Every structure is written in C-alpha cells, then in structure tokens.
Structure 1
Amino acid sequence: MKRDDIALQPEAPAVGRPHPHESARAQVAGSAPYVDDLPEFKGTLYAAPILSPVAHGTLDGVDTGAALALPGVHGVVLAEDVPGLAVFPTAARDEAVFAHGTVQYVGQVIGLVLADSVMGARRAARAVQLSITPLPAILSVQDALAAQSWVLPPVHVRRGDAAGALATAPHRLQGRFEVGGQEHFYLEGQIAYALPLEQGQWWIHSSTQHPGEVQHWVAHALGVDSHAVRIECRRMGGGFGGKETQAGHLAVWAAVAAHKFGRPVKLRLDRDDDFVVTGKRHPFAYEYDVGFDASGRIAGLKLMMAANCGHSADLSGAVADRAVFHCDNAYFLEHVEIASYRCKTNLQSHTAFRGFGGPQGVIAIEAILGDIARHLGLDALDVRMRNLYGLGERDVTHYQMRVEDNILHELLPQLERQAHYRQRQAAIAQWNATSPVLKRGLAVTPVKFGISFTATLFNQAGALVNVFTDGSVQVNHGGTEMGQGLHTKVAQIVADELGVPLARVLVTASDTSKVPNASATAASSGTDLNGRAAQYAARTIRDNLAAFVAGLDGCGAGAVQFEGGLVTSPKVVRRWEEVVVAAYANRIQLWSDGFYRTPKIHYDKTTLTGRPFFYFAYGAACTEVAIDTTTGESRVLAIDILHDVGRSINPAIDIGQIEGGFVQGMGWLTTEELVWDERGRLATHAPSTYKIPATGDVPEHFQVRLWHEANREDNVGGSKAVGEPPFMLAVSVYEALRNAIAAARDGASGGRFAPGERIELRAPATAENVLRALGRLED
C-alpha cells in the first residue's frame, strides 16, 4: 500500500507503560502450571528425604528394613548409589550429594525413600533407623570465631590509616551487634521432576533460578555429558535466591533416584522439611570502632563482620564479599579496615538471598551512623548527608571503584521535602514528651547498590528470537521467571525493537537446550542481561527485514521504520505481517540469537579491588514506627520511598518490586526470627512459629515515587535494576525503631544518653528484643 492509502495508527510503544505481568491472569485463575502441576508420566515414583537428627556426628549405619517393609515402597537411594561425582561440583567441593561417613547438620539428607505415593514415601523415610555417634558441634558465630572454624579463609580490606585516624579523632565509639538470618519462604517449595529419556538422556523439570547450574550438577552426579541433560523451568512460585544453588540439590537427588530405578521420580519437600534442609540468609555478627568529628563525619573505621555460613561454602564467599563491597553503603570511608570472617557452623548451608550480602553490609554502616548521631545529639539525616560520597577525592570506594553516578545529594533532600521529615520529627518529639507508654521514631536511610554479578564471568546472557510467518514472535532467553516480571519486560523490549504490538510476543520456558550456559537469574541483573540479549537478537531480525524492504523500495535500510505493527519506508507503508510473509518467500532469515556481556567491569578477587559493578542503583526511604514500651510490640505507621529505577520499562512491575522488597526487608528486621536450640535443631520451621509480614503489617500510608532520571550508563532502555536494591530501604525501619527506643530511654533517664551509650537492638526487632533494648528484659 502507498502511504496515502493507509490510515492505520500505530500502537504506542510497549516500554515505559504499566503492562500486566505476562501470566498474571493465568496465575489468578489457577491455570498457570508449576512443576507439581505438570502431568505425570506413567510409572512415576515419589521420593522423600531421610534426614539427620544430629548436628554433627559419625554416620555408623543406616537400617532401612522397617521402611522397605511398608506397602508401596520400592527402595532407598544412598551415597553408594550415585553413579558419578559424589559431591556437588561447587568451587569448594565440600558438600556430599548424600551424607556418608559423617553428618554435618540437623536436616542433612542421608538418602531417599522411593514409593508409589508421596505420603507413603514420607512415612517410610521416618521409619529408617540411623546409627550416629555424636561429635562436638559448632552452632554459633562466636563459637566459630573462637575455634577459627572457616568454610573459606578470612578476607581483609584496608584503605588509609584507620588506626591513626581513630587515635586522633575528636570522638570515638565502639560497639557490637547481630542481625539474624531469614527464611526465603517462597510459596512454591523446592521441587524437581526427573525423567529418564532414550539413549541415556535426561529431562529435568526444576524450580530453579539457575537451569545451567542444575544441568551441570546433574550431569556430574550421573556421570554423563551436559548435552545429555535438559533442564526446563517455565516459572517458579518465588525464589528470592533460595533456588539459585539449592534447587540443584533436589534435581540431583531426583535424578540419581531415577537412574537407580529407571523410572521418573518426583521430589517435593514439604514446608517443614524445606525449612530444615535448606539454607537461609546468612546471620551476621559485627564489631566496630569508629572515630568522628563534632559534625558526625567519620574519620576512621575498623569493622569486623562475621558471617554464619553453615556447614559448607555454597555461595558464602561471594555473599561475604558483597557485604564488604556494601558496608560503605552511600558513604565515603577515607580510613577503613574491614575484616570479613566466613564461619563454618553445624547448621544448614546458608545461601543467596535477595540482596546477596548487601543488606548485611548496608545495615552495619547505617547502625554506626545512627549511633554517631545519637551520641552527638544530632539529627541522623544531617549526619548521613555529611558523610555521603562527594566529588573529587571523596568519590572513590574502599575497593577503588569511582562513584560516577551519585544522585543522593539531590534525591535525599527531595524525599525529605516530600515526606515532610522535619515537621514530622518535631511532631514526634512533642508526642514522645507526653506519651509515657507509646513512643514513636522516624528515620531516613539511603541505599547505593552495585549492579552486576561480583563474579565477572556471570555477566553475560544469550537469547533466541523467532518470527513466524503469521507475524507472531517467540522469545527464549537464559533468565528465569519467579514472579518478578522478567518475561514481561523482555517481551516489551522485543516488541518495541521489532515495532510490533506486545500481544504478538510470547516468552517461552527457560530451557538449557535453547540457550546454553546461562547465568543465574540473580544479582538484580535479569533484565539488564537477558533483556539486552533479546533486544540484540530482535535487532538482527529487524535489520534483515529493513534491508529487504530497502531493496524493494530503493531506499537506505536506515530509512525503514518499524512501529506499532507497521513497516514504513519513504515510499510505502506495509503491515508487519505482510513484510514477514514477503521476506520468508524471499528466503530472508526470520530468527536470530543475541548475546550480551556487561561492559566496563573488572576486579581482582584476591584483593577485592577494581570495578565490580556496571552502575549503582539509588534510593531512600522515610519510615515512621511506634513501640509499646510495656510489651515491646512495634508497628510501622508510614513509609515514603523515592527510588531510582532509571527510565522504567514497566512502572507497575517496578513499583511492585519496590513495595515487595521493602516489606520483605521489613520482615527480616522485625518479625522473621530463626531460632536453633542447643542441639542445632531449627525450632522455627513452619508458619506457626516463623512469622513473615502479613497485609496487616503494611501501613495505610505507603507512598512510592520513582526518580525521574534515566540510567547514565548505556543500559537497556535507560533502565536500572530493581529486584534487590529496595530491600535495603527497610533498614529505615530498624533505625526508626532504635530512635523510638532512644526516646523511651531518654524519658526514663530524664535526659540524653550518657556519652558512649548505645541502643543495642538485636535484629530482628521482635517484641522480646525491643524489651531487651529498653533494658526491661534480660537474655
């Protein structure tokens, strides 16, 4: 058709609009299948784990007689049944597929029982008799530090002369505190379904954030090449890091069982076993010595961070490294010494969790600045502003990366105005002066979070885009969908690159047979990596079509435009579908792969120096809380957030991620308490004893605004990562609680603290821990 013969209006671009999540309707309707919903193949067996009841001991024997005598039981799988590598192929090679010789924690998997039904397998697993001779167990960070028990060697990072700066500082504080771990509490528990195929091939359905690693692990355990193992994951019911490595355990266990019995095997942990078997967010212990001037500006800092890693390394090295990278948060530390200890204990092997060590680093410096402000009697926001990264010599981190994109000098004052921080501080002071029981607190804390995998090799991605002759588009990429909207954003990016309506683009299940060697969907980099790779694949197809149309119309390829389902040259406007059909008839390639590697990044992992991050994401939160000084109960009253997502690809999804990340961080710091007893048994292993935030914990005033500026680096669509950074905004809840406690203690003493007195609030700030901080409950 000629330009004058067509009156069609192109649809608006997809990127930048709040499109619904690609499977939201199906999920609400119950028609979006997860692994446990898939049709089962004939002959499927069900597995249940045999768990160690002892934290540390010698495994002397496994008596399976009573289990095998139960109806419907087909057999057991133990360490000797692993045909290939008997340890998981992690870098440390320090975790057995099935325990043998010794057990390392309560809940370690010793083997599996296979039966015709799920409940039959679980009953039989409980009937297995274990003979274990107990050995001394290390169950706390303090015991591990005393015993110098490490999963990996300690790491030390230094800049300047911390000791000299401390010695000459006008003011000085020392302190110690702890933050607890956190259960991932994904709605869909850990699960794998292993299917033996022809000629030694395997098809594994896994609820995993890292299909490529699951493929690698299963191939090693079975003693086969990776090309014989296909891993597929359409979606997860949540992951939060808990399915980055530890989903691989279930896939390996199910595959080994399927290998032994020659039948499909499904393994799904129930909620209690999931709690007991799998690792959590790393609990941390801190000690610090800080020197500062009368304005609160830090002169020198010595900081010790000890991570409770559990019985094996897992991802603890990278988690602890990121805590080191983020213990500055938004602040310039000129003279600093950081000691990072990676402690081995006889507990679950702690693993990735949203923020990946960043929250444990951020809370350290924020707690220190809060202590400084209270010590000096200054407003904490003013102290934070004085310590922000600046220009010139004050814009280089302790790991030697220059902070080139800092927007906090503008963002924080804007949030201060929008949240009416100064007026509310005055009102809260008046409230606290007249309220003897209920005390309120207010705090603003920022976040500066580095975006990229700290392991440089993972900063790469691939994608495959297919255009069919009816004009529909299919995308496959290396990322996984766990509810965060990755597939939706990738579809938006591809739709705009090809100039087609979003409804014409379908993203299919993550599959190692389509995109190999994919990195985990983690480090907040899912859209950055996979979105760019898919964009490049779509761009190649678009360029092929542009060259074809240019040949038809006698113009340059650059003059051909793709928008809203129309392909426009200087001479003719055609429908997208018309161009695709004509291109196919002329043997033009209508599919392409795409590959992306993050630019600019490099660092020396032995010294932890360099540029580990492509850019930083920024934000700040203002949170108001109240505490009941008689019961220790607390409530979040109001939340105001201003967060930097660059140029948003999908504002609805981004705001949802900000809200969800903040609430999850709030849970980490207030209600989600993990308790192990003196025998290493996890006492909080079910929703009845482990409390995540509920709808009633979210205040009516929950205001989220997006920063207006695009990413200054050349990232896809001008966007910034959003998955993890908002989690750390919840540190404002912790600091607001400490301010409320300080108000209560001020009132009790009739004046300000004695010099050097600190608010020692153990996180999570449960009612008991608030009472301890108030001095009304002993340990």
Structure 2
Amino acid sequence: IGGQEHLYLETQAALAIPAEDGGIKIYSSTQGPTAVQRATAKVLGLPMNKVEVDVLRLGGGFGGKEDQATPFAAMAALAAVKLNGPVKLVLSRHDDLFITGKRHPYSADYKIGLNNEGKIIAYEAMFYQNAGACADLSTAVLERTLFHATNSYFIPNVKTTGISCKTNLPPNTAFRGFGGPQGKFVIESAIYKAANEMGIPANEIQKKNLLKENDFFYYGQKAERVNSIKCWEKAEELYSFQQKLEEVEAFNKKNKIMKKGISLMPICFGISFTSSFLNQASALVHIYTDGSIGISTAAVEMGQGVNEKMRNIASRTFSVNIDKIKIESTNTTRVANTSPTAASSAADMNGNALLIACNQIKERLVNFIRDKFELTSTDNIEVKEEKVLVNGAEIKDYSWNKLIWDAYFSRISLSQQAYYATPKIYFDRDKNQGKPFAYHVYGTAITTVTVDCLRGTYTIDSVEVVHDFGKSLNPIIDKGQAEGAIVQGIGWLTIEELSQNEKGQLLSNSLSTYKIPDIYSAPNEIKVEFLEDSENPFGPFNSKAIGEPPFMYGIGAYFAILNAMKEFSPIEPLFSAPLTHEKVLMNLYKKKINSPTKMISN
C-alpha cells in the first residue's frame, strides 16, 4: 500500500519575532500551536509562557502540519533570537516535497475464515508500517490502523498485529485517516479475495457481516447508534444498485475492450484521539458592549470550515446574526494547552467547549432579564433573533444590543472561558480493551468505473454516497468536505505514486513527477446524500465529525477497477496500491507477457 504526499497549497512556513520580555512570538503554519510552543521553548531554553504561537489560518494541512510544522517554527525562532530580529522561513515546493514525511506506506499479510454462507468467522492481519528514519507519529498511526482493521464488519475472532519499521526515508507522519485507510484496504482485499475463491460477489459478503446495534468491536467497545446497515440499504435503494449492476453486466457483454466495474464500500470510523489525554479543549468568548462577539478556541482553520462551524454554534446559542461573530486567530496566550486540530475532532471538542461558554453567558443574561423586569421565573424568557421575549411576546424596544449594554452597566460578566473533555473514553493497552472512541461515523459508497482495456486507462464514472453526518452544523461545508475527501482517497489508490531511490531520496519531487487528481481524473459525478434521523450526543447540536471518514470511500474505486479488469481477463486479484494506469495495463496482459510466445510488435 503506497504512501501519499499531502501537497497542501501553502508549504511549511513560520515567522518569528523577538518580544520585549526576552520571549518570542511565532506566526506558524501549524495544526498544533502548543506543540510548536513546547518544542520552541525547549530549543530556546525558555519557559512556555515566553513563547507565543499565533495561527490565523493554514493553506491546507491534511495532517502534514500536525507534527512536522514544529521544527521549521523552531528553526525560525532560533534564528530570530540569534539575529535579534524577525525571521521568516518558507519552504519552496521542491524542498517541502523533498524534506517532509508522507502518508505511511504499508505492507500486510492476512488470513480470513468464512463459513459456507459467507459469514466471516475469523480474521488475522499483520501490518508492516514504513515509519521512516524516526518515529514521529508512527506508533499512533499504527494503533489506529489496528483499531480499524475490520472496517464496518462484525467478526467474532480477530487478531491484528502491527510492526513499525525504521527505514531511510524522511519520518512519515499523520495524513487524513491516520492509519485507518490502510487497515480498511487490507480487510476489503481479504473480502475480495474470499469472494473470488467462493465464487460469490464481494458485496454479498460485505452485507452479511455489517455491524449491528450492540455488537462489540474486537477491542471491547460496544457498537452504539449503529448506522452501517441503514447507510448500506439506503444507498442500494436510492442509487438503484441492482439496476446499475444489470446495466454494467449488459455493457460488458456488448463491449470487448471497454469494461465497467462497480463496487460498494461501507465505512465505520471512530472519532476521538486514541491517546485519551488529547481529548480536551477550551474556548474563550467575549461579548462587547455593542453586541458583537469575539471567539477564541484551539481549532485551527485550514480550509475545512471549522471557523464557520464555531460561528454557527455561537449564532444558534445566542440567536444572533452570524455577522456579529468574529473568530480570533488560534493563540496559545488566549487558549493554552491546545490539542492539535486533528483526528476529525476539532469541531466536536472546541464546539462543545464553545457551547458551554456561550450557555454560561446566556444563563447570566436570562437571569439579568428576570431581575430587571421583576419576573418570577426564567422559564418563559427567550432571546430570539436578537429580540427579548417573555411568554412568547416581544419586549418592546429591547433588542440584543440594548440587553448587552444594560447587562454591562449592571456589572454582568460578558466574558467566559470554558473547558470540555470528551467523557467516558479510555483504553487499557495492557488488556487491549476499552472504549477509545466517543462514537463512530458510518456510510456507504457505490462506485462505478470504466476501464479501457487496450490502453489500461480508466475513468471514475460516479461515486454515490449515503453518509452519516449526524445533524450537520453546516450542510454545505460538510458536503464539500465529503466530496474533497472522496477525490483525495481515490487519488491515493490510483494515480498518486511516490518514488524513491535506494538512498531514500524522493524522485517524485515535483508536480511533473507526482500526479494528484485533476478535473479529468476526478469522478464524473459525485452524489452525497445525508442519512436521516442520525443522533450523536457527543457532537454540538447532534453533529458528527466529517474530516476523515469520507476519505475511505476512495477505496471503492480500487475494487471497482479490479472488477472491470476481471471482466476482460480472469486474472489473479491485484492488491498493490496505487493502481496506476501502467499497473492496470501490465496486469491485464500479464499472462500474455509472461507466456513463452510473447507478443511481438509489427
């Protein structure tokens, strides 16, 4: 299983400015401001309170700036101290590609046991992770691989083992999915292989083994609010899977060279940091005397829309126009001891902390209204659309702005800091049992492809998804995140191929030698349907995380291509990613190329 380059638009960058008190301020392109603060303090021999890290936004991250932004910020800070002046460090694209770590490449061995009905009885997998020259986040990535080794399936007997291998590559690091995609690819390969051996469709095995309510994951956590079957069945019905299957079969009978393939890809992805201590967040809210609102959280905006979600939460809680709300930069002085914006948890954790802070201010305001208007109870007091209502009737000439001004003059605090820690999560690494995730995200994708079996090229015709968003905070943002993740996931398993020489030096070190999906290699059509009636008590307003789970839908494209190839030539299944056009062509004609009578050109 190949690696993947993050290829964020903005390369690694930092600006360090010496401060008057002997400290330093760093503007860093990082997903982990506190990690930068901690490391820089150690490098400079300073206490952390003399290192201020400020992050306004990133030009993309995808995990590549969770840990690996830290050394570049520390370098800039050290130079700034030595030169006693501002220092800006920005990597060129070539240097960024050459120096930084990628998604971890893996290889794996597996055994899978099924009964005659297609129920999976046992599964064993051994994962070999290419960590690079030092650990970085490799052990945490490998741990999540093991947690996601059975994808969306209930398997009663499971044994998974991971070995992190030291190699001569730059240290590989976090990347969207954080080891989960590699684990899922292996179980899907095992199911595909088993289906071939048994002479039944892979989707038949997949469907028979989907998780059900109150099943147990092999690491001891009970599966609750399970939507795997709901998503699968809705996708089959909504997108007319059986009809598509018949259309694919009819197309393949009529065409000798062009072949279509179709696959279903269910997902189940756990949400939380698997290192429990990281599941905490803080928020700081100020309401100014003109009624405008300022918000600080630990969430780093990197194009995923988390700032807009924070504004949505505050707007809904206070019932004010979203234009009144400003999100401040992420700053270690305003919000300290931050967890990185990673693990798809930023909106959940920071949103919950923000919700607590807003509700505490709101409670003070409601109590103030009760006292000011000499009411007996707060039960019927409501602030709605910047108006104050009592028993459903508006108090005349008493707007949100007037309320805030009066509260200030009455010495009511209009600021609040709040803290949130994800409850009831733990994992005992001695017993390999626990509840490492607050909840799981489910979904199913149907992917259709067309392969030109003369040239080995392929097009992704469509990816049609039913996804469990919970109660989405912002459907436009969430749908966009899902679509982007799907394309990125397809790229990982199809055209994005990393190449190194024997010394570990990157050969695919430019955009001419490393290909990412463009408009021509992206799916011709992406449809994303929201699963209805999904609840999640761990997310703000019942929302669910969106950043990483849809990435795994890209795995479906790989197996759809294999299905199309099988229609042309009954070859042995190929489990080697990425499945580039060259690999497709070579494997379609593998028997002919390796036979005694080789093909001879005219």
| Band the TM-score falls in, shorter-chain normalisation | over 0.9
Question: Match for 2:68 among 246, 250, 253?
Answer: 246
Deviation track 1:313-336 (CA, whole Å, cap 9, x = no partner) reads: 111011000000001111112122
- The residue number in structure 2 matching 1:580 is 404
- The residue number in structure 2 matching 1:277 is 99
Summarize the alignment of residues 142-161 of structure 1 with structure 2, pairs less than 5 Å apart.
Answer: none
Aligned-partner Cα distance in 2 for 1:472–1:621: 43
- The residue number in structure 1 matching 2:581 is 767
Aligned-partner Cα distance in 2 for 1:377–1:424: 20
Deviation, structure 1 residue 723 = 0.5
- The residue number in structure 2 matching 1:420 is 240
| Structure 2 residue matching 1:695: 3-state secondary structure | coil
- The residue number in structure 1 matching 2:147 is 325
Read off the aligned partner of 1:763 and give its amino acid letter.
A
Deviation, structure 1 residue 377 = 2.0
* Counterpart check, 1:182 vs 2:4: yes
CA contact (8 A) 2:168 2:503 kept: no
Deviates more, 1:511-520 or 1:251-260: 251-260
Read off the aligned partner of 2:194 and give its amino acid letter.
I
| Structure 2 residue matching 1:686: 3-state secondary structure | coil
The 1:274–1:607 alpha-carbon spacing in structure 2 relative to 1, beyond 3 Å, is farther
Summarize the alignment of residues 511-522 of structure 1 with structure 2, pairs less than 5 Å apart.
Answer: 511-522=331-342
Aligned-partner Cα distance in 2 for 1:263–1:494: 39
- The residue number in structure 2 matching 1:286 is 108
Deviation track 1:652-707 (CA, whole Å, cap 9, x = no partner) reads: 00000000000000110111100111222211011111111012223332211111
Question: Match for 1:680 among 504, 511, 514?
Answer: 504
CA contact (8 A) 1:464 1:594 kept: yes
Q: Which has the larger radius of gyration?
A: 1
Deviation track 1:251-270 (CA, whole Å, cap 9, x = no partner) reads: 01111111222221111110
Aligned-partner Cα distance in 2 for 1:479–1:342: 30
Question: Match for 1:568 among 350, 365, 389?
Answer: 389
Aligned-partner Cα distance in 1 for 2:296–2:149: 37
- The residue number in structure 1 matching 2:172 is 350
CA contact (8 A) 1:314 1:351 kept: yes
Read off the aligned partner of 1:613 and give its amino acid letter.
F
CA contact (8 A) 2:348 2:538 kept: no
Aligned-partner Cα distance in 2 for 1:528–1:269: 32
Question: Match for 2:131 among 300, 306, 309?
Answer: 309
- The residue number in structure 1 matching 2:302 is 482
* Counterpart check, 1:710 vs 2:524: no
Question: Match for 1:258 among 53, 76, 80?
Answer: 80
Deviation track 1:63-101 (CA, whole Å, cap 9, x = no partner) reads: xxxxxxxxxxxxxxxxxxxxxxxxxxxxxxxxxxxxxxx
Deviation track 1:416-435 (CA, whole Å, cap 9, x = no partner) reads: 11222111112212222232
Aligned-partner Cα distance in 2 for 1:214–1:712: 33
Question: Match for 1:502 among 322, 339, 353?
Answer: 322
Deviation track 1:128-169 (CA, whole Å, cap 9, x = no partner) reads: xxxxxxxxxxxxxxxxxxxxxxxxxxxxxxxxxxxxxxxxxx
The 1:683–1:714 alpha-carbon spacing in structure 2 relative to 1, beyond 3 Å, is closer
CA contact (8 A) 1:546 1:558 kept: no
Deviation, structure 1 residue 391 = 4.8
CA contact (8 A) 2:487 2:523 kept: no
* Counterpart check, 1:664 vs 2:499: no
- The residue number in structure 1 matching 2:250 is 430
Aligned-partner Cα distance in 2 for 1:730–1:286: 19
CA contact (8 A) 1:553 1:569 kept: no
- The residue number in structure 2 matching 1:439 is 259
Read off the aligned partner of 2:55 and give its amino acid letter.
C
| Structure 2 residue matching 1:730: 3-state secondary structure | helix
| Structure 2 residue matching 1:517: 3-state secondary structure | coil
- The residue number in structure 2 matching 1:653 is 477
Any unmatched runs of 5+ in structure 2?
595-602
CA contact (8 A) 2:471 2:534 kept: yes
Aligned-partner Cα distance in 1 for 2:111–2:427: 28
| Structure 1 residue matching 2:34: 3-state secondary structure | helix
Question: Match for 1:209 among 12, 27, 31?
Answer: 31
Deviation track 1:332-390 (CA, whole Å, cap 9, x = no partner) reads: 12122211111110101000000111111111111111122222221222210111123
CA contact (8 A) 2:487 2:554 kept: yes
**TM-score, length-scaled by structure 1:** 0.74
Deviation, structure 1 residue 443 = 0.2
Aligned-partner Cα distance in 1 for 2:179–2:430: 18
| Structure 1 residue matching 2:236: 3-state secondary structure | helix
- Residues paired across the two proteins, number: 588
Aligned-partner Cα distance in 2 for 1:389–1:434: 38
| Structure 2 residue matching 1:558: 3-state secondary structure | coil
Aligned-partner Cα distance in 1 for 2:538–2:92: 44
* Counterpart check, 1:372 vs 2:194: yes
- The residue number in structure 2 matching 1:523 is 343
Aligned-partner Cα distance in 1 for 2:536–2:36: 35
Any unmatched runs of 5+ in structure 1?
1-178, 747-752
Deviates more, 1:222-231 or 1:566-575: 566-575
Aligned-partner Cα distance in 2 for 1:587–1:384: 62
Question: Match for 1:615 among 425, 439, 442?
Answer: 439
Aligned-partner Cα distance in 2 for 1:479–1:324: 27
Deviation, structure 1 residue 187 = 0.3
The 1:561–1:423 alpha-carbon spacing in structure 2 relative to 1, beyond 3 Å, is same
CA contact (8 A) 1:602 1:611 kept: yes
The percentage of aligned residue pairs carrying the same residue is 39
Deviation, structure 1 residue 204 = 0.1
**TM-score, length-scaled by structure 2:** 0.96
- The residue number in structure 1 matching 2:380 is 559
